[in-house]
């Protein structure tokens, strides 16, 4: 049984002011600004973090055949240790049967008390992506296909309406009409694993696409310096970027350029974390492919020496982004609280304000950012020993 929290004091990560937050029935009742007391100024309070791309954690993959509700719960509980109070379980390209089966498991898991407050929805990454080598990444080519609204409707039914984001390639035949259908049904459309032209990207955004999935990745190593998928997405003011800032997927220069081009309001940090997070470095088999997890946390497809997701939690990405860009703590926190809350229309989330759900994190932020407490709907679900 988790401990119920009636109030918590600390320094607001956004304003830098000492505050006292009172909590009642899982919601923030009031936020009171306190006088300076000289108390520990490193004890910071933030809204809970939201990670929009979690493929799994600690040997659990959401696309594996043996997914269970208990395994979903184990991922949820692992993420609490890193301040993640909300996340989108992400299913990658697979057979129709496998996706239907696992969406049903996720739908059941979302109904569980321990999960329902931490899973606002599901992210379907594929199967409507580019089949080209370099763009499809670790997604099995044999399961990649054209957008099919009837098929997707079946996926959404299996998920009991919980799919809130889909990542697709805008150049694939039928994608524009599919995007329009998604937008009409309140689903956030992301562009990813694609080789779309400037016009195709422009048309997709006009149809309603609003974010680029793990921007700068799932892209061929060698591209035309003028005509490639990167510039049009950077230039489009309506398109946000999700970035994997684990120090592996993107260089310091790339992250700085993306930050300066888009501004903090259009960036969402994500982990793209896989089942290999929390596992020891070794060689593994995953979806019929040989994978190597290195000492520094790289997840590599052995045959192609290509990245296949991450093994580094979102918290470490906050540190890396902050170090690379020299942005403020409040800015980097914004990328995993306010920004995803706005994109996914998660009302009563993403800010420390009266009436909002009491999903909160107590942090220490010096050279590293450490989570001391994680609170979900007013209940203490994790405390650092």
Write the DSSP symbol of residue 35.
P
CB 270 within 8 A of CB 51: yes
pLDDT mean over 83-94:
97
Residue 283: CB atoms within 10 A of its CB come to 10
193 lies in a domain? yes
Helix (H) or strand (E) holding 254: helix 252-262
Query: What's the confidence (pLDDT) of residue 288?
Result: 77
User: What gap in Å lies between CA 176 and CA 196, rounded to an integer?
Assistant: 12
Q: Give the C-alpha separation, 336 to 261, whole Å.
A: 19
> Would 55 be classed as within a structural domain?
yes
C-alpha span between 79 and 312 (Å, rounded): 11
The SS3 of residue 308 is strand
Residue 133 lies in a domain: yes
Sign, CA torsion 281/256/241/322: positive
Quick: pLDDT tens for 139-160.
Answer: 999 999 999 999 999 999 999 9
pLDDT value of position 304 = 78
> Does residue 357 sit within a domain?
no
In this predicted model, which residue has the larger pLDDT, 218 or 200? 200
Do 60 and 178 fall into the same domain?
Answer: yes
Q: Could you tell me if 8 and 131 lie in one domain?
A: no
Beta-sheet strand order (sheet of 282-286): 282-286, 289-293, 298-301, 306-310
This prediction's pTM: 0.96
Mean pLDDT, to the nearest integer, of 199-203? 98
Domain count, the chain: 2
One domain, residues 279 and 307? yes
Strand 267-270, strand 282-286: pairing: unpaired
Q: Which CATH number goes with the domain that contains 310?
A: 3.20.20.140
* Within-domain flag for 170: yes
State residue 286's pLDDT score: 83
pLDDT exceeds cutoff 80 at 31: yes
Question: Side-chain half-sphere of 331: how many Cα atoms within 13 Å?
Answer: 15
123 and 18 within one domain: no
Rounded CA separation 179/207 (Å): 6
Average pLDDT, the chain: 94
Residues 117 and 153 occupy one common structural domain: yes
Q: What is the mean pLDDT of residues 43-54?
A: 97
Percent of the chain with pLDDT over 90: 86
Which pLDDT belongs to residue 38?
Answer: 64
Q: Are residues 280 and 316 in the same domain?
A: yes
22 and 89 fall within a common domain: no
**31 and 63 assigned to the same domain:** no
**355 in a structural domain:** no
Average pLDDT over residues 28-54: 89
CB distance 121 to 165 below 8 Å: yes
Both 152 and 225 in one domain: the answer is yes
In the prediction, which pLDDT does 1 show?
52
d(CA 33, CA 373): 21
Helix, strand, or coil (residue 102): helix
The answer to whether residue 140 sits within a structural domain is yes
Same domain? For 269 and 339 the reply is yes
Same domain? For 14 and 148 the reply is no
Long-range contacts of 63-68 (CB under 8 A, 24+ apart): 63/91, 63/92, 63/94, 63/98, 63/99, 63/102, 63/287, 64/102, 64/275, 65/98, 65/101, 67/101, 67/102, 67/105, 67/106, 68/105
Is residue 53 located within the same domain as residue 144?
yes
238 falls within a domain: yes
Domain that holds residue 379: 3-44+367-383
Band of pLDDT at residue 268, cut at 50, 70 and 90: very high
* Confidence bin at 327 (pLDDT 50/70/90): very high
């Amino acid at each position: 049984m988790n401990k119920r929290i009636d109030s918590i004091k600390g320094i607001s990560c956004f304003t830098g002011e000492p505050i006292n937050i009172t909590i009642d029935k899982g919601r923030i009742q009031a936020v009171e600004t306190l006088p300076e007391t000289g108390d520990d100024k490193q004890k910071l309070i933030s809204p809970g973090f939201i990670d929009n791309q979690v493929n799994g954690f600690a040997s659990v993959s959401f696309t594996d055949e043996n997914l269970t509700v208990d395994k979903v719960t184990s991922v949820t509980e692992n993420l609490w240790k890193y301040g993640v109070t909300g996340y989108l379980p992400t299913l990658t390209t697979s057979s129709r049967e496998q996706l239907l089966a696992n969406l049903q498991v996720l739908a059941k898991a979302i109904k569980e008390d321990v999960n329902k407050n931490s899973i606002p929805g599901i992210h379907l990454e594929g199967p409507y992506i580019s089949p080209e080598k370099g763009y499809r990444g670790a997604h099995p080519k044999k399961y990649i296909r054209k957008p099919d609204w009837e098929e997707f409707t079946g996926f959404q039914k299996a998920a009991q309406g919980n799919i809130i984001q889909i990542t697709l390639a805008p150049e694939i035949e039928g994608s524009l009409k599919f995007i329009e259908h998604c937008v009409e049904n309140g689903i956030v459309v992301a562009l990813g694993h694609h080789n779309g032209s400037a016009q195709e990207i422009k048309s997709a955004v006009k149809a309603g696409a609003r974010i680029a999935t793990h921007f700068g990745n799932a892209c061929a190593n060698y591209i035309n310096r003028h005509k490639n998928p990167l510039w049009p997405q950077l230039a489009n003011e309506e398109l946000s970027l999700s970035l994997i800032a684990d120090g592996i997927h993107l260089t310091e220069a790339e992250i700085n350029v993306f930050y300066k081009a888009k501004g903090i309001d259009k960036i969402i940090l994500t982990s793209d974390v896989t089942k290999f997070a929390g596992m020891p470095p070794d060689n593994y088999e995953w979806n019929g492919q040989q994978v190597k997890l290195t000492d520094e946390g790289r997840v590599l497809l052995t045959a192609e020496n290509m990245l296949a997701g991450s093994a580094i939690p979102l918290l470490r990405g906050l540190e890396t982004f902050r170090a690379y860009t020299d942005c403020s703590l409040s800015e980097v926190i914004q990328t995993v609280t306010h920004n995803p809350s706005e994109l996914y229309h998660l009302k009563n989330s993403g800010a420390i304000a009266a009436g909002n759900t009491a999903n909160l994190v107590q942090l220490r932020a010096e050279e590293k950012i450490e989570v001391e407490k994680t609170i979900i709907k007013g209940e203490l679900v994790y405390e650092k020993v």
